Structure formats: structure tokens, C-alpha cells
Chains A and B, each alone.
Chain A
Amino acid sequence: MISILELSKSFGNHQVLKRINLTFEPGSIYGIVGENGSGKTTLFRCIAGLESYAGTIQSPYPVLKDHTGFLPTNPEYLSRITGWEFLKLVCIARGIREEAFEEQNIFDLPLDQYADTYSTGMKKKLALMGILLQQNDLFILDEPFNGVDIHSNMIILELIRKLQSLKKTVLISSHIFATLQESCDFIYLLQDGQIAKSVAPDQFGELEAQMKSFVVGDRINRIRIG
């Protein structure tokens, strides 16, 4: 179990996360929703250990990040490195002796091409393959469905279910509510750096309706289209 206790994060005077308390169980999938700038990515980066923070993160591992696979919204690649070499690099980084990448290439990526020349969706799929090959226990997927074609989205959804069956912990953020509805055991609504709501599957529909009325409201009528 991973516990986040009183986690706060500020950039200068701007407090992005305010005393967040969350618990993540193995074999469960958690969705984090919120508007742009609500602090989702910052929360993910804090859990991954990519940002310093105030508060505590407890886990059964001596170093949580060594068991964490983080899929950023826009994965960035080193120049002049092929997809195959990127996968080799992420495996070496975790001491995994793996080279059979072609046979595990579930997204049919051109692994002999430079990764930084891939399209947005291909970059995301390569990064996802990398964190899967690392055999992590915690998966943090920041917008995994964005920019990815519909066929690959179906594969990603199935992969998330497979991770669940393997007792892995998965955190997902997505602006596509339907994908979270389909996959999550729990959804947290992040608003102004705080967890405004924790929702179980039987209340997902209600949360979506609430978000729609709160976010959309009468905004559409304010712009003069045509």
C-alpha cells in the first residue's frame, strides 16, 4: 500500500498542492481528474520523486521511484537514439537484461528509427512500452490516451486491466472521462490543489454530470458564434 500524507507543493509563492492525503492499494486503478492547472501533473511528479515536496509518502519499498513507471504527458526523447536503444536504456537503468523488444512490440513501432522523429502517439506508446518492460509495481500514467489512435487506446485499456490483474497499482489522469469510467476503481477530483471529491464506481455518472454543469455551465452562450 502507498500512502500520501499531508503532501504540499509550492512553486515560489504559488501553492499548487495543499495537504493531499491519499491511499493506493495494489491491484487497484485510480483516476485523477481536474481542470488544466489543477495540479494533477505536479502531484504525479511528486509521487514519482521528480519534484521535491512537503509531507510524506509511505510505501513498502526502500526507494519508491525504483519501482515506479512514469508516463509523462509528452515524453521527451534523446536525439539520435532509436526506439530499440531507448528500450534498452530504460531496461539497463533498472538492471533488466532484456533485448527481445521486437517480439514484444505490441504497438508495431518502427524500433529501428530515431525515437525523436516518432509522431506524438508513437512517442507515447514507446514510453509506455518502456515502463512496462521495466516490470514496475506502481504505474503513473499522465494522459495515456491523449494523441494515441483509437486502436492503441483499446490496447492501452486492456493493458491497464492486465496490470490490475497482476496486482499492480495504477494512477491515471485523463481528460476523457469515459476512459476513466471504464477502467478505474476510484476517481479523485483535484480542484485548486486539493482533493475535492473521492468517488466510487456507482457515483461516476453523477460526478461526470456535476463536472459538466460546473465546468460548462452557461459558458457556451457567452461566445458569439456566427
Chain B
Amino acid sequence: MEYYFQLQFVRFKRLLVASGVHPAIGILLILAGFLAGSYYLFYRVDWAAWIFMAIGLLVISQLGNKHRVEQLRWIFPAATLQRIRLLENGLAALPFALFLLGQRHIYFAAFFIISAPVLVFMRSPDRIGFIIPTPFKRFPFELPAGIRKAWWMPVIIIFLLVKGIQVHNYGLSLSAMILIALTVMSFYAYPEKVYYVWIHALTPKAFLKHKIRTAWIGLSILCLPVWMAICISFTDSIWVSSGILALGFVFLAFLILAKYSAYPHEMSIPQGLLVGLSLWFPPMLLFMVPVFYRQAIRQITPYLS
């Protein structure tokens, strides 16, 4: 088990080197990014603890993905596998829990610490053979696959929306809409296999347009009911809600361009930082969208011509 964690650390360092960053600098950058992003969230948003916890749970749930666990099961005996998974979830939960404690959100931190090991024993519906129906059957593949991966997310979103309306907390309700946009963006975070780009009889430009159009349809179907509920409940803030929704559409398109700008590889750390900076400071999009668009066209052209 000790060797497994040593190996994971070696793999992580190799990933940083492959991304063009010295491991020590990469680790420092990640730590600084985590702290800066977290402080910014708590500084700007009074309901930040909810979002912070949702992001943390999303990160931890990624460790329990089916293929990963199957690979571990193939290598380790059941008892060792369970110990590894518990330790992995604990390690991933630690920075989030410590930050929550530092912000004096003791109940959130406690809930988080309890949730981390509980997630090891939770079985996603597809692991017990249940196929989750989605409204996106006709829009494969990112939307139906993403919805099934984030099957538990609607519970959090509905809770945030309903609670926000109940206590008349605009920010809390708005966080439900932001969480939907972030979830849909996460569907487009990783590059698909080359075959799934190659099969398209489209020019690179038409391919990107098709991907963005499909993503926007998905975001509209998922976000518009929540946006309407917010608009009806908080009539004074219709323009703010609409502006944030519009920004969600822009960010989603931007993320798709960013993903294909590194295709067929995952985004490097410098690219990821540029994406993060653009999301933090949206005027940067005016410069970054054309850059990522040109890079995306260049990267996918070999597979579409």
C-alpha cells in the first residue's frame, strides 16, 4: 500500500514535468491556486461554504470512478483496496476540511470529514447496473455521460435553489445556477479519444461550432428552469441573474475551445492557469478566446482533414 502511494506521487510529478513545469514549482502553484481561489470565494460570497463543500465532494467523488476502482480491485486484495480508498479520500478531503476549519465553519468541516469515508462505500447507480435516463439521449456524448457521472448533483442544486427561495437569500439561489454551469463545464474538461473526433465529417470550424451548440442546448435545458425560478422569486435582480447566465454560456464555449486547444492531450498547467485567470477576470476572454480558437483549429485539423 505504501508503494502504491509512492507510485502515485511519482506519477503526479511526471504529469507536472510533462506539462512543462518543475514538480516543486507545480506543487507550489497548485497550493497557491487552491488557497487564493478559496480565499477569493470566501471573501466575495457569503454562502461560499456550500459551494466549497460541493466542489470538495466533486473532487473526492472523482477518485471513486468506476475504471479507477476496477483497476485497483484487479491489483489489490479487498481489504487493502478498502484501506487505499479510505486513505485516498481522507487525503483529498484534508485541504478542504482544514480550510473550512480555518474559516470557522466547524459544522461544514465535520460534515465533510464524515462524507469522505462514506463516499468509499457508496455505489453509483451505474455500478449496480442501473442506467440513468437523461433528457440528452439524442445529444451524445458529453451531456448524457456527464449527467450520469454527476448523478447526485441535482440533489444539491435543488436544495440550494429551494433553500435560497425559502429564506429569500438571492446568493444561495444563484449558487444553484452557477453550480449547474460549473457541472456542465466539467463534462467538457477532458479530451475524448481521437476516434471520436475523427468520425465527424465536419471541418474543424464546423466541428467546434457543433460542440459549442450542443453544449449550449444542454446548458439551456438544465439552467433555464432554475433561472426562471430565480427571476420569479427575485424580480429586482433579473438583470444580474440573466447576466450571470449569459456569462455561463460564454465560459462554457471558452472551456470547449480551451480543451481542444491542447487536443489530443489534456490542458497543460500553464493553459489551465490561463483558463482560471480568464474566468476570474472575464475581460481577458476578449484576448484569450481568439488565441484558444486558433490553437483548437490547429490541434484538431489533423483528425478532420
Listed in ascending order, the chain A residues whose CB lies under 8 Å from chain B are 48-50, 52, 63, 65-66, 70, 72, 76, 78-82, 84-86, 88-90, 92-95, 99, 112-114, 134
How many A-B pairs fall under 8 Å by CB? Answer: 69
Once the chains are docked, how many angstroms separate the CA of A50 from the CA of B196? 11
Collect the chain B residues with CB atoms within 8 Å of residue A78's CB.
141, 145, 192-193, 196
Q: Answer whether A114 and B126 are a contact pair too, CB < 8 Å, given A50-B303, A84-B137, A88-B137.
A: yes
A92 lies within 8 A of B149 (CB): no
Q: Interface residue tally of chain B, by bracket?
A: 20 to 34
> What are 26 A-B contacts defined by CB distance under 8 Å?
A48-B198, A49-B303, A50-B303, A52-B302, A65-B198, A76-B193, A78-B192, A79-B66, A79-B67, A79-B145, A80-B126, A80-B144, A80-B145, A80-B149, A81-B144, A81-B145, A82-B144, A84-B137, A85-B140, A88-B138, A89-B140, A89-B196, A90-B199, A95-B201, A112-B131, A114-B131
B194 lies within 8 A of A93 (CB): no
Collect the chain A residues with CB atoms within 8 Å of residue B6's CB.
none
Once the chains are docked, how many angstroms separate the CA of A76 from the CA of B199? 13
Whether B148 sits at the interface, judged by CB under 8 Å, is yes
Whether B200 sits at the interface, judged by CB under 8 Å, is yes
B195 lies within 8 A of A72 (CB): yes
Once the chains are docked, how many angstroms separate the CA of A63 from the CA of B304? 9
B198 lies within 8 A of A94 (CB): no
Collect the chain A residues with CB atoms within 8 Å of residue B196's CB.
78, 89
Whether B305 sits at the interface, judged by CB under 8 Å, is yes
Once the chains are docked, how many angstroms separate the CA of A23 from the CA of B140? 37
A50 lies within 8 A of B195 (CB): yes
Residues in B184-232 with C-beta less than 8 Å from chain A: 192-196, 198-202
Determine how close the nearest CB of chain A comes to the CB of B192; give it in whole angstroms: 7
